Amino acid sequence: MSSEAHFRQLERMYLNANVNTKIFDTTTCRISEEEAEIGLRISDKYFHALGAIHGSVYFKLLDDAAFFAVSSVVRDVFVLTTSFHINILRPASEGLLTARGKVKFRSRTLFIAESTLYNEAGKEIAFGTGNFAKSSVQLSEEIGYK
């Protein structure tokens, strides 16, 4: 399978996952070699009591972008997040959020990726770093990889 076919199958897997069709309104997913970009339009359903997005939304976008950057180079099995650290710099309450992830390190058993979250004005609002490992679950149609 070509790299481009792998990237498109990962994008479909992501966009069709229940969490992205039933809970979040994910707008974009673009995957390329060692990189991924995830977009989400802010809705008040993501707000905490102070009227800005909850930290879990920051985490989801940052983790997803880093996760799929790593997944771009793992062609046989599903990847697992083993740890992820985020830093929130400023609140967001409107517009389109874009998370960009990239692979920073890879070995046979460990992958490290970082991601940055931007608001619609292009201002960095959060960043994170995660560790990822291969699972024993094969990439297949059963998990949406088609």
Whether 1 shows a pLDDT value over 90: the answer reads no
Domain ranges for the chain, please list them.
3-143
In the beta sheet, which residues pair with residue 138? Answer: 77
Q: pLDDT tens digits for 21-30?
A: 999 988 899 9
pTM: 0.96
Pick the CATH number of 3-143 from 3.10.129.10, 3.90.1150.10, 3.30.70.1900, 3.90.1530.10: 3.10.129.10
Q: pLDDT tens digits for 80-120?
A: 999 999 999 999 999 999 999 999 999 999 999 999 999 99
Average pLDDT over residues 29-54: 96
pLDDT for 42 equals: 95
Mean pLDDT of the chain: 96
Whether 139 shows a pLDDT value over 90: the answer reads yes
Full DSSP string of 69-137: HHHTT--SEEEEEEEEEEEE-S---SSEEEEEEEEEEE-SS-EEEEEEEE-TTS-EEEEEEEEEEEEEE
What do you get for the CA distance between the two ends of the chain, in Å? Answer: 12
pLDDT confidence bin for 36, thresholds 50/70/90: very high
pLDDT confidence bin for 135, thresholds 50/70/90: very high
Q: What is the CA radius of gyration of the chain?
A: 15
pLDDT for 89 equals: 98
